[in-house]
Amino acid sequence: MNEKKGETTPEKFEKLATAGEKTAFYIRTIDDFAHWVTANIMSTSIDVEECINILEDYIKSNEHIIQRINKVMSIS
């Protein structure tokens, strides 16, 4: 059976809910990390270079996703 682009089946809904939960977990983790870095930046035990690398890698790996999100949200 061919499904329309906007048609939501129970299977699609379950996939979307699962992906949304995992995405929210990842976003919370990077948000917690960014706040932790800010709160501990003056600590002598923090590896500042590693923290910078992690955050920069996160930004680089998500730039294309943010563009796609903006495109999808502008259609709605």
- pLDDT tens figures, 7-53: 889 999 999 999 999 999 999 999 999 999 999 999 888 999 999 99
Instruction: Tell me the whole-structure pTM to 2 decimals.
Output: 0.74
pLDDT at 39: 94
Place of tokens 């706040």: 35
Q: Quick one: which of 7, 25, 35, 27 has its CA closest to 69? A: 27
Domain residue ranges in the chain: 10-75
Within 8 A by CB and 6+ apart from 55, the residues are: 33, 34, 37
Q: What is the pLDDT of residue 2?
A: 46
Length of the chain: 76
- Token digits for 37? 């870095």
